[in-house]
């Protein structure tokens, strides 16, 4: 079958067709998604169409539970905090993932996370707060209006994507639970579920599960710091960290922890997974910084996805991933080569 015929059959723009193997991958992806009861495009109206996000009909989308769908549909674009860079095609955002709980290959999360149960979901709020507790996700989200924000995501591995998230500022959530004056840091924890997450069962893994991350309180309160529940106008796909993940666009992607079940406030700096694993390579701060190389590779440039051998699409990495105006003041006087 020629590429043209495939394109016409699937109604996919030529820019997204690369080879017959991509076509086959898409078919497999769609089959996996459908067997996991993910709805096809025509099954529901969503914010995606209103916002003009292109989601080819042959790719799965993730509507989420009914209560979330209603919330997602009423999201509003935050143009002020969105970048105008070209979006990553949806296909790349849902098939090129780091979610080590499901495997270390970029394709493992889309292959193995489709049946991951994300509803019902509880989030524990603990530590230095006036209102600790174990809350249903629906109650956590109830008072928050959702915003659509287009952010750059820069992985420490030197690739990047531009993604439209749906979420709300972490600062608003933090204020609701009333941190005490001792709360200087926030730690986030991903679900520990060996039955569903194959890599958590492995005795040879690199990470000491569950995955944990953390922010200084002023970083957590910065208006850019987002709790995301959706992307491209729909609920988060499981491989992207459903049902609730953090997005901190000026830091390397590993800070943006997925599938969060605990938010803990503490007086001391919390442990973070990659810092425990390789402290010389990954610091607590992990601010995107082209001037400070990773010990094994340069951080001066990045491969902006989609990228291929013939068209690698290499762009300069910007300090704080281009968000210096909003966040550089948080690190005034700090030596960022020491606090990497």
- Residues in 166-205 at the binding interface with ligand MTE, rule: CB under 6 A: 190
Angstrom distances, CA of residue 280 to CA of 192, 284, 294, 295: 26, 11, 9, 8
What end-to-end distance do the CA atoms of the chain give, in Å?
50
CA–CA distance, 151 with 18 (Å, rounded to integer): 26
Q: Is residue 97 close enough to count as binding ligand MTE by CB under 6 A?
A: yes
CA distance 252 to 321: 9
Which one of 57-65, 177-185, 253-261, 299-307 is the stretch in contact with ligand MTE (CB under 6 A)? 253-261
Q: Are 321 and 152 in contact (CB under 8 A)?
A: yes
128/188 with CB nearer ligand MTE: 188
Is position 317 an interface residue for ligand MTE (rule: CB under 6 A)? no
Judged by CB under 6 A, the stretch of 221-229, 248-256, 279-287, 299-307 that binds ligand MTE is 248-256
272 binding ligand MTE? (CB under 6 A): no
Q: Is 258 in the site for ligand MTE (CB under 6 A)?
A: yes
What minimum distance in Å lies between the beta carbon of 228 and ligand MTE? 9
179 vs 288, beta carbon nearer ligand MTE: 288
332 is in an annotated binding site: no
- Taking the complex as a whole, the smallest distance from the CB of residue 246 to ligand MTE amounts, in Å, to 8
Give just the sign of the alpha carbon dihedral 245, 249, 250, 253: positive
Interface residue with ligand MTE among 114, 187, 225, 256 (CB under 6 A) is 256
Stretch that binds ligand MTE, among 41-49, 95-103, 123-131, 136-144 (CB under 6 A): 95-103
Asked whether position 155 contacts ligand MTE by CB under 6 A, the answer is yes
Task: Return the DSSP state at 106.
Answer: T
Name the minimum Å distance from CB 101 to ligand MTE. Answer: 6
CB of 44 to ligand MTE, least distance (A): 22
- Alpha-carbon distance of 288 to 319, in angstroms, equals 6
Stretch that binds ligand MTE, among 25-33, 52-60, 175-183, 257-265 (CB under 6 A): 257-265
- Tokens (6 digits) for 292: 């400070």
Q: Assess 257 for contact with ligand MTE (CB under 6 A).
A: yes
Using the minimum distance from each CB to ligand MTE, give the nearer residue, 179 or 272. 272
Q: How open is the CA angle 65-152-161, to the nearest 5 degrees?
A: 80
- The DSSP output letter for 318 is P
Identify the burial level of 70 via C-beta atoms within 10 angstroms of its C-beta, where 0-12 means exposed, 13-18 middle and 19 or more buried. Answer: exposed
Phi-psi region of 322 (alpha: psi -120 to 50; beta: other; left: phi over 0): left
Q: Using the rule CB under 6 A, give the single segment among 52-60, 139-147, 164-172, 256-264 that binds ligand MTE.
A: 256-264
Question: Measuring CA to CA, which residue among 73, 256, 99 is closest to residue 163?
Answer: 256
Three-state DSSP at 43 gives helix
Q: How far is the CB of 241 from ligand MTE (least distance, A)?
A: 6
Q: Work out how close the CB of 3 gets to ligand MTE at its nearest, in angstroms, rounded to a whole number.
A: 27
The distance of Cα 95 from the centroid of its chain, to the nearest Å, equals 13
Q: Does 211 participate in binding ligand MTE (rule CB under 6 A)?
A: yes
Residue placing its CB nearer to ligand MTE in the complex, 222 or 240:
240
Q: Does residue number 123 form part of the binding site for ligand MTE (CB under 6 A)?
A: no
Burial class (CB in 10 A: 0-12, 13-18, 19+), 171: middle
C-alpha span between 79 and 322 (Å, rounded):
16
* 98 annotated ligand binder: no
Q: Which positions ≥6 away from 150 have C-beta within 8 Å?
A: 82, 83, 84, 85, 87, 162, 163, 164, 165
Interface with ligand MTE (CB under 6 A): 97-101, 153, 155, 190, 211, 240-241, 253-254, 256-259
Residues at the binding site for Mo-molybdopterin are 97, 100-101, 155, 190, 240, 245, 256-258
């Amino acid at each position: 079958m020629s590429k043209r015929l495939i394109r016409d059959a699937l109604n996919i723009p030529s820019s997204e067709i690369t080879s017959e193997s991509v076509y086959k991958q898409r078919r497999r992806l769609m089959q996996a998604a459908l067997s996991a009861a993910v709805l096809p495009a025509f099954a529901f109206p969503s914010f995606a169409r209103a916002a003009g996000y292109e989601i080819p009909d042959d790719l799965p989308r993730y509507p989420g539970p009914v209560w979330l769908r209603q919330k997602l549909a009423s999201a509003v674009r935050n143009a002020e905090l969105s970048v105008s860079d070209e979006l990553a095609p949806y296909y790349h955002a849902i098939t090129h993932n780091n979610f080590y709980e499901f495997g270390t290959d970029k394709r493992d999360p889309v292959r193995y996370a489709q049946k991951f149960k994300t509803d019902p979901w509880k989030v524990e709020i603990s530590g230095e707060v006036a209102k600790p507790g174990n809350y249903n996700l629906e109650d956590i989200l109830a008072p928050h209006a959702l915003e659509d924000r287009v952010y750059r995501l820069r992985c420490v591995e030197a690739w990047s994507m531009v993604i439209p998230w749906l979420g709300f500022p972490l600062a608003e959530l933090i204020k609701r639970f009333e941190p005490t004056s001792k709360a200087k840091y926030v730690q986030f924890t991903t679900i520990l579920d060996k039955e569903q997450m194959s890599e958590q069962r492995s005795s040879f893994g690199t990470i000491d599960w569950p995955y944990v991350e953390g922010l200084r309180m002023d970083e957590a309160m910065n208006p850019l710091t987002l709790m995301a529940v959706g992307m491209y106008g729909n609920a988060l796909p499981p491989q992207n960290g459903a049902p609730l993940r953090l997005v901190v666009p000026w830091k390397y992607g590993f800070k943006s922890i997925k599938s969060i079940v605990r938010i803990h406030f503490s007086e001391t700096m919390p442990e973070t997974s990659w810092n425990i694993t390789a402290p010389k390579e990954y610091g607590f701060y992990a601010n995107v910084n082209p001037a400070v190389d990773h010990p094994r590779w340069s951080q001066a440039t990045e491969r902006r996805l989609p990228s291929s051998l013939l068209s690698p699409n290499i762009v300069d990495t910007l300090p704080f991933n281009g968000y210096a105006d909003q966040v550089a003041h948080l690190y005034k006087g700090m030596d960022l080569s020491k606090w990497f």
